[in-house]
Structure 1
Amino acid sequence: MSKQAEEVIAPIDVDHSWCGGTRREYAFKNGYGASVICSPYSYGGKRGLWELAELYEGDLTGSEPVGFLTEDDVQKKLKEIKGRKA
Structure 2
Amino acid sequence: MPDGYRVSVVRGPFTYGGDRGLWEMALLNPKGGLDYAVDEDICGGDVLVYLTEANVIDILAELKRRHKHVRTITHMFNTVILRDEESD
Instruction: Report TM bin, short chain.
Output: 0.5 to 0.7
Q: Which stretches in structure 1 are left out of the alignment for 5+ residues?
A: 1-27
Give the deviation of 1:45 after TM superposition: 0.4
In the TM superposition, what whole-angstrom CA distance separates every residue of 1:39-76 from its partner, at most 9, and x where no partner exists? 11111101010000012435421331111111110001
Query: Counterparts of 1:36 and 1:55 in 2: how far apart (Å)?
Result: 11
Count the aligned residue pairs.
59
**Residue correspondence of structure 1 range 4-43 to structure 2 within 5 A:** 31-43=4-16
Q: What is the TM-score of this pair, normalised by structure 1?
A: 0.55
Aligned pairs (5 A) from 1:75-86: 75-85=57-67
Instruction: Report what 2:50 is aligned to.
Output: 68
Letter in 2 for 1:68: Y
Query: Unaligned 5+ residue runs, structure 2?
Result: 37-44, 71-88
Instruction: State the AA in 1 paired with 2:6.
Output: G
Aligned residues: CA RMSD: 2.5
* Structure of higher RCO (CA pairs closer than 8 Å, 6+ residues apart): 2
**C-alpha distance in 2 between matches for 1:32 and 1:84:** 14
Identity %, equivalent residues:
42
- The code of the aligned residue for 2:61 comes to K
1:79 positional shift: 1.1
TM-score (norm 2): 0.53
